Every structure is written in structure tokens, then in C-alpha cells.
Structure 1
Amino acid sequence: MVIKNIIFDFGGVLVDWDPRYYFKDHFNDDEKMNHFLKNVTTEEWNIEQDRGRTLVEGTNFLVTKHPEWEKEIRAFYDNWTTMLRSEISENVAVLRQLKNSNYEIFGLTNWSEETFPFAFENYDFFKLFEGKIVVSGTEKMIKPNPEIWKILLHRYQINAEESIFIDDNFKNIEAAKDLGFICIHIKNETDLAKELRNLGVDF
């Protein structure tokens, strides 16, 4: 099967987002910070905003559950832009090269509908996708739910077998493989350009 499409996750692949970029200075105490991020603003809590729960609803839910952390909880989304540090330059460089090649590029991201517009406006490489981006918060479903990949496939009339999916979350990689996608699991040491060329992508 000929590869025609390259599909990018965003966080951890093209952009560097981490709550520690704000809370490290806020707490000035790594142990307290790590406790807060692990036990209060958990991944499970954050992903519900990516699934479509509003930031206000998510914040108020957590304040009710952990009133002793109210100040820090409310600081989370008030300072969200500080947590979005930079693009991941080596992978964005690959994206730019692919855009100038014969491949179609797409985005499939777990991201709040309320916060994604800030990233879109402040990082010019998002424009390279020409609107071909599926955002979980808009669709009200998140990876690794197979249905969100099906939205991408049906909306843009593409085939999984002709597509490479790139993500830093292993659960998402496994779900995409089950749907027939060729996958690249991004880790700290991953050379994305090399991995793509190993799969026969010419750019």
C-alpha cells in the first residue's frame, strides 16, 4: 500500500506543553508540586476538558472535590498559556518538509476546544494543515476512542492503510494500529525524519 497521508498528534509531538512550566515557580517546592499534579489536577481530570467539558465546569468540579487547593486549581487554566512553552522544532521542521512534498497532512489532537485557538493563533505551523484538524474538544470524544479516528477518515475521505499516525501516547498508538494505521510512537529519543524515511516516506 502506498503511503499518502501523515497524521500528527500535537502535544508532545509538535508542541511542548507541561504544567510544570508554571507550577515549578508557583510552588517553589518540587515535592508539593508533584503531589498536586499527580493527585489533584490529574490526567483523568484534564482529559475531560479535552473531551468537551468546559474549563469553568472542570475547575469548579475540582475545587468542590479539593477545596484546600482552590487557589492552585484556579491558577491552572488562568496560567495555561505559560505551560505551553514552545514548538518542538525538530518535528516541526519535518512537518514543514512534508508540507512541501506530495503527502497530505492532518492533525488529530486531544485538546480543549477553549484552549486550542490560542495555540492555533500563536504557532504558525498549525496553518500548514489548512484546517484539516480534528480536535477532541470539538468532537466531544477523545483518543483512544476509535470513533475519533473514524471521524478523520470519513471527513477527509482517506484510508487508514495509506496513512501514518504519529503520537506520543502509547495507548493511542495501539488503538490506531488496531484500525489499520501505520504508526510512529514518539519518545524523547525518536528521530522522526529517520522513522518516516524507514517507512518509505520520501521528503
Structure 2
Amino acid sequence: MIKTIIFDFGNVFINLDIEAAHKHALEAFNIEALSDEMLGFNSFYEQGLISTKEFLDFYSQNFPKLSKHELIDIWNFMLKDFPESRLTFLKELKQSSKYKLILLSNTNELHIDFIKTNVSFYNEFKNCFEAFYLSHEINLVKPNKDIFNFVLNQNKLKAEECLFIDDNKDNIDAANTLNIKTWLINPETEDVKNLFTTKKDLF
């Protein structure tokens, strides 16, 4: 029986366009591919191992023709709309008091700052969760198993009583190895607000 629902953020609640953002970055930087060093800094930043200043300084040094403002716009390009119908679904779910609700997201300070500024109901959204874990704040990232064990231990949860919803197969596979029930959501054809009809077999 499901007692806890653990939600990803991007492509579950807020829509992302990762492919377009990648293409936009390559064009802006005038390169053919992101270097291993760039990918490493991106990963460090998502884990909260470097500050926003250090992150932007790295890109400024490598692409001096771009201003900090332009670099931030490139970084945030993937963030799109947050349909309010998903907030309505979440609020109704919280009001039902049937499940413990947790958010578990790989993200970073610049993305969250952008969302706080551009999503008028961000605080309302955040308040729907009993626990709200952002990778850069807890220094853990999916799909590493330690992030899932952290959530289970912090909240005294049984893995088999949890449902984890994410759009990334590697994250889902990691959760499955711990006996957490999962929904690999397809953001192009599925919507989290339809959880109880799409995944009714789990409930």
C-alpha cells in the first residue's frame, strides 16, 4: 500500500526543454559539444559543491564575450511553464491527507531563483510538501542510491510503501533497486495530475 509519494520537479511539475537548451548553449558558446570540464562544473554546481559565483566565474573565464546576465539566461533556458492545473492537483492531494508528499529534485540555486521569480505560486507549491529536497542543498544527486536512502531514513519510510515519480530512467532504475515503486512519467504524453487514472494499478 502506497503511503508516501516522492515527486521529481522538472518535467513533472514545471515543463523543461532540455534538448532546446542544449542546442541554445552550443550556439551561444559557439562550440560543437560541452567539454568534460563544463559537464563536471555543471555536476558540481547541481550537487552544491561550488557556489553560484564560482560557477559563473568559470563560464565567464571560458566565454569572456558573454556577460553574467547572458550566461544566466543560457543556463535557465530549459525552464518553461508550470501549468497551474498541476498545483491544483497537488493541493487537493495534500488536502486529502492520504499520503505523505515529498519533493526530490536535482537542481541548483540559479534554477530555483528563476522559478521563485517567475512562478507566482512557488511558495504555495512548496508548502504542499512535508519534505522538500533540492540536490544542491543536501549535496546529494539522483541517480545515486544514497539520495534515496537519505530520504527513506530522514522520513522513516518503508521503500515498498513509497511511489517515486520521475521522467529520468536512470533515476527510476535506481529507485527500483531499493524496492521503491515507480512511475517513469513521459512528459510528452502523460501528466502528473492524472496519476490516479494512469497508475491506478498501484493504488
2:52–2:109 contact (8 Å) kept in structure 1: no
Q: Deviations over 1:153-186 (max 9, x none)?
A: 1111111110100011111011011111101111
What TM-score results when the alignment is normalised by the length of structure 2?
0.76
For 1:160 and 1:170, the matched residues in 2 are separated by 18
* Alignment of structure 1 residues 60-71 onto 2, 5 Å: 60-64=57-61, 67=62, 69-71=63-65
Alignment pair present for 1:14 and 2:17: no
Evaluate the alpha carbon distance shift between residue 77 and residue 104 of structure 1 in structure 2; reply closer, same or farther with a 3 A threshold.
Answer: same
Evaluate the alpha carbon distance shift between residue 189 and residue 7 of structure 1 in structure 2; reply closer, same or farther with a 3 A threshold.
Answer: same
Q: Which has the larger displacement, 38-47 or 161-170?
A: 38-47
CA deviation after TM superposition for structure 1 residue 93, in Å: 4.0
The one-letter code of the counterpart of 1:94 is: F
* Alignment of structure 1 residues 1-203 onto 2, 5 Å: 2-18=1-17, 20=20, 32=27, 38-39=33-34, 45-52=41-48, 53-64=50-61, 67=62, 69-72=63-66, 74=68, 75-77=70-72, 83-101=78-96, 102-113=98-109, 115-116=111-112, 119-120=115-116, 122=119, 123=122, 124-130=124-130, 132-187=131-186, 188-192=188-192, 193=194, 194-200=197-203
CA deviation after TM superposition for structure 1 residue 34, in Å: 9.3
The one-letter code of the counterpart of 1:70 is: P
CA deviation after TM superposition for structure 1 residue 79, in Å: 6.5
What TM-score results when the alignment is normalised by the length of structure 1?
0.76
Structure 2: unaligned runs, 5 residues or longer: none
Identity of aligned residues (%): 29
Helix, strand or coil: the match of 1:14? Answer: coil
How many residues end up aligned between the 2 structures?
190
For 1:197 and 1:37, the matched residues in 2 are separated by 44
Q: Which has the larger displacement, 179-188 or 38-47?
A: 38-47
